[in-house]
Homo-oligomer: A and B are copies of this chain.
Amino acid sequence: MAQPAPPSQSEMRRQNLARVLHALADHGPQSRAEAAARIGLTRAAVSTLVEELMRAGLLVEQGPGRSGTVGRPGTVLQLADRGPCGLAAEIGVDHLAACAMDLRGTIRARGRCDINGRSGGPGPVLGRLTTLLEEVAREAADQGLRPERLTVAVPGLVTRGGTTVVRAPNLGWRDTDLAARLPAALGVLAVDNEANLGALAELWTDRPELPGSTLDQAPDVRGAATSGGPGGPGGPGGSGPTAAADPAGTGPAVPHAPGGDSFVHVSAEIGIGAAVVIDGQLLRGAHGFAGELGHVPVRPDGRPCTCGGRGCLETYAGEEAVLRAAGLEPGPGVRIDDLASRCAAGDQRTLRAVRRAGTALGIALSGAVNLLDPGRVVIGGALARLGPWLLPPLDRELARRTAVASGGRPTPVEVRASRLGPDGPLLGAARTSVRALLDMPVRPAAA
């Protein structure tokens, strides 16, 4: 029960600056008085912090009466839509994606391209990704934005808090340090598993007060010319639950709401990953490798898997396995969409293949539900598009195999497809970049 040492003056200052920024990110534009009440500091203290944040170009003032809260005059503060921004990238086995997000949580630029990530090793893939990120960064710069953080989502295992991809079986990568292969000019780098980032996006999106929840929202502040000038519509005002998760294990510890969200997020693409969120906190595991649902055994004596095991979930419900079972040869251009249209057309072989994948997913998830007792299961990634055919057999397995863990209730655990679809990991990466900027506002940028 020894008390931790009190934080230093400069650390206290950083924490208080971050509090002001997070209050604006979580609750939208508000006055100094509102921010002071929200974070428990005096109005005078907040005014000093705000001055510093405005000098650093992180905050702007709007005219009075713009907060959206009727009857509350006074100058309203808002996060800047120019200056520092976050970059995000997603490395898939068959595609790359990148985007830039401003402090308000708005996507301001994005790009995507197809690749064949299986051949050639990390060199060509990361070269192509650098080009894509530089295009996105240029488009952001044209709008007055300056990338300072980059978060990369990868389909593999990443050491906790590190930048090295320990193993990405479907890319064939091993011990690949992205920090050594991506230009430092793109911002301070964070690397995380795509399933983790997808789960964080899901977690943050469940909080309706957070701006920037979906990638397809209109880039409504694009073209706003000067900081301090008329901004776009801000996030909704009002109060709600506070943001709960610590994106990548960095930054100040944010206390989570009691009884916060608990779910297993399945990210089904070519590989199958999962992320476990407990009380609003991402479970990372002792080495950062938690969530390897794809290698949970579902048929212990079944097919050999690339991991060295047998009968892993991935060999039955991974994208390739389903394509092959449906009689399709996996390759560039052959995708989950083909399976979905064949299912819709009633193709029996495809329906059987997808049903079998749903059963296998249900068996593996039964184990996870019995072990973790999550509040719900969310199916994200490409396989989510097969929901109408995949979810019924999955539900059936869960219902028969998790009766004890559910106290014998007939509906053991809610299963639903993610509303974010395949955008989840990229969105989670972008918000991780932006949250890192909000957490660490101490290096003052030119106003």
Contact = CB atoms under 8 A, between A and B. Distances in A.
Interface of A: 1-4, 19, 22-23, 26, 38-40, 157, 166-167, 169, 174, 239, 242-243, 254-255, 262, 274, 276, 278, 283-300, 307-310, 312, 363-364, 366-368, 370-375, 400-408
Contacts of A405: 157, 285, 289, 292, 295
B375 A1 contact: no
B38 A372 contact: no
Most buried by B among A19, A167, A407: A407
Given A2-B239, A38-B2, A367-B367, A295 B404 contact: yes
Contacts of A375: 286
Given A285-B262, A309-B401, A403-B308, A1 B39 contact: yes
Contacts of A284: 373
**Top 10 closest A-B pairs, CB basis?**
A285-B373, A3-B40, A292-B370, A296-B367, A309-B401, A286-B375, A290-B373, A307-B404, A289-B373, A166-B407
A242 B1 contact: yes
Nearest to A307: B404
Contact of A278 (B40, B254, B278, B401): B278
A429 to B, nearest CB: 21
A407 B289 CA distance: 8
B291 A262 contact: no
Contacts of A167: 404, 407-408
Nearest to A373: B285
Nearest to A255: B4
Contacts of A312: 401
A287 B367 CA distance: 16
Most buried by B among A38, A296, A375: A296
Nearest to A407: B166
5 contacts: A285-B405, A287-B406, A293-B371, A298-B300, A307-B403
Contacts of A239: 2
Given A2-B242, A289-B404, A292-B373, 17 more contacts: A1-B38, A2-B39, A2-B239, A169-B404, A288-B373, A289-B373, A289-B406, A290-B371, A290-B372, A292-B371, A294-B404, A295-B402, A297-B363, A297-B367, A308-B403, A309-B401, A310-B400
A40 B295 CA distance: 47
A367 B401 CA distance: 15
A274 to B, nearest CB: 7
Contacts of A166: 407-408
A286 B263 CA distance: 9
A313 to B, nearest CB: 9
A383 to B, nearest CB: 18
A105 to B, nearest CB: 15
A157 B242 contact: no
Contacts of A373: 284-292
Given A40-B3, A289-B407, A296 B169 contact: no
Nearest to A41: B3
Nearest to A296: B367
